[in-house]
Amino acid sequence: MSISVQNISKTFKKVNAVNDVSFEVKEGELFGLIGPDGAGKTTIFRILTTLLIADKGTATVAGFDVVADYKSIRNHVGYMPGKFSLYQDLTVEENLEFFATIFGTTIYENYDLIKEIYVQIEPFKNRRAGKLSGGMKQKLALCCALIHKPKVLFLDEPTTGVDPVSRKEFWEMLKRLQQKGITILVSTPYMDEAELCDRIALIQHGKILQIDTPQEIVKYYPKNIYDISADNMYKLIESLKSFKHHYSVYPFGEFVHYTDTRNDFNPQELQYYLESKNHTNIKIKITKTTIEDTFMELTK
């Protein structure tokens, strides 16, 4: 096991930031902690990177205990905190050089590891980090976290505040890093990114709701979900909520995700009901369960 977390709890001034959390990450795995702001993701990251000590529970990273062997961990992990922790007044190259020297290495020693990412920002190597776009900052921060060839990489919300193109490129990079044998623990509030992980833990209010592969996790959802649309979204939601057999009604992009309390639900019935409520352009079709649906069901 590359990361092993057992019954970790952490309280800040009465707030239970992390509550009895356990999970394991295998070597070479890309593991995602998925949850909204304030779910406890950052606290877990800080405990695992030896920046905080848990009130209860134990954890090991790369075989080292996070409290007793914190020095060894600091030699073997790469960490990219939520805010891209770069020196804004240093250039791209100077930042990278600095992080290389403090880890006792050089840019060239592990160049093959960062090459793919670095070539994208190399044209701007003399630009100050503060003047880079969000996507480029993110790439530079990743290079800095990788420069000493860590065994385990911790990425805390690496895609927050980054445009969709950079986000996509970033996840492609993570996949390739994973193939080089690096274990990656990543956190994100975006459910759509969950699908790109090998396994995920859904987390809310400091508690883990479920751990599984993205493909399996949606199977925990007990019901069939229907996409429903009509001309007036607001009235559609109102009508569905007053339908006596409704189990859940959530707006979901251009549709409403609807589930029924009954197992033998017939969409036709709902069609008639909505027509009776004067809805126009009604469309009802069964849809695939998403991780977001599962998350909502688990936090309900």
Partner 1 sequence: MKRFIGFIKKEFYHIIRDRRSLFILFGMPIAQIMLFGFAITNEIQNVDIAILDHSKDATTQEIIHKISSSKYFKITQLIDNESSIEAAFKKGKVKAVLIIEKDFTKNLTKENNANIQIITDATEPNTANSISNYIISIIQNYKQEINKNTNVPYQINANTKMIFNPELKSVFMFVPGVMTIILMLVSAMMTSISITREKELGTMEVLLVSPLKPYQVIIGKVFPYIFLAIINTIVIVLLSIFVFKMPIQGSYLLLAFVSILFILTSLSLGILISTIAATQQTAMMISLAGLMLPTIILSGFIFPVTSMPAPLQILSNIIPAKWFIIILKGIMLKGVGFTFIWKETLILLVMTVFNIVLSTKKYKIRLE
Partner 2 sequence: MKNESVIIVESLTKMFGNFTAVDTISFEVKKGEIFGFLGANGAGKTTAMKMLIGIGKPTSGKAQVAGFDVFKNPEEIKKNIGYMSQKFALYDDLTVKENITFFGGIYGLSRIQIKEKTISLIEELGLQEIENKLVGSLPLGWKQKIAFSTALLHNPKIIFLDEPTSGVDPITRRQFWEMIYKTANNGTTIFVTTHYMDEAEYCDRVSIMVNGKIEALDTPKNLKSQFQVHNMNDVFLKLARG
Single out the residue of 51, 211, 282, 296 in contact with partner 1 (rule: CB under 8 A): 51
Q: Which does 71 bind (CB under 5 to 8 A by kind): partner 2, partner 1, none?
A: partner 1
* Letter string b/e over residues 61-95, b meaning 16 or more CB atoms within 10 A of that residue's CB: bbebebeebeeebeebbbbbbbebebeeeebbbeb
* Helix 164-179 / helix 134-146 crossing angle, nearest 10 deg: 20
Q: State which amino acid sits at residue 180.
A: K
Pairing of the two strands 15-25 and 207-212: unpaired
Measured from the CB atom, the residue of 37 and 275 that comes closer to partner 2 is 37
The tally of CA atoms less than 13 A away on the side-chain side of residue 158 is 30
Q: Which does 250 bind (CB under 5 to 8 A by kind): partner 2, partner 1, none?
A: partner 2
Do 39 and 203 form a contact (C-beta atoms < 8 A)?
yes
Single out the residue of 82, 134, 161, 267 in contact with partner 1 (rule: CB under 8 A): 82
- Tokens encoding 298: 């688990």
Measured from the CB atom, the residue of 63 and 161 that comes closer to partner 2 is 161
Per CB under 8 A, does 68 bind partner 1?
Answer: no
Per CB under 8 A, does 274 bind partner 1?
Answer: no
- Tokens encoding 89: 């007044």
Q: Which does 104 bind (CB under 5 to 8 A by kind): partner 2, partner 1, none?
A: partner 1
The tally of CA atoms less than 13 A away on the side-chain side of residue 159 is 24
Per CB under 8 A, does 232 bind partner 2?
Answer: yes
Measured from the CB atom, the residue of 77 and 203 that comes closer to partner 2 is 203
Q: Which does 261 bind (CB under 5 to 8 A by kind): partner 2, partner 1, none?
A: none
* 151-170 residues near partner 2, rule: CB under 8 A: 160-161, 163-165, 168
Do 245 and 223 form a contact (C-beta atoms < 8 A)?
no
Q: Which does 94 bind (CB under 5 to 8 A by kind): partner 2, partner 1, none?
A: partner 1
Per-residue contact string for residues 135-164; x = within reach of partner 1 by CB under 8 A: ---------xx-------------------
* 185-224 residues near partner 1, rule: CB under 8 A: none
Using alpha carbons, list the distances in angstroms from residue 25 to 30, 146, 279, 296: 8, 19, 49, 24
Binding site for partner 1 (CB under 8 A): 46, 49-53, 70-71, 74-75, 77, 79, 81-83, 85-90, 94, 97-104, 144-145
Binding site for partner 2 (CB under 8 A): 35-39, 133-134, 160-161, 163-165, 168, 189-192, 204, 232-235, 237, 250-254, 292, 295-296, 299-300
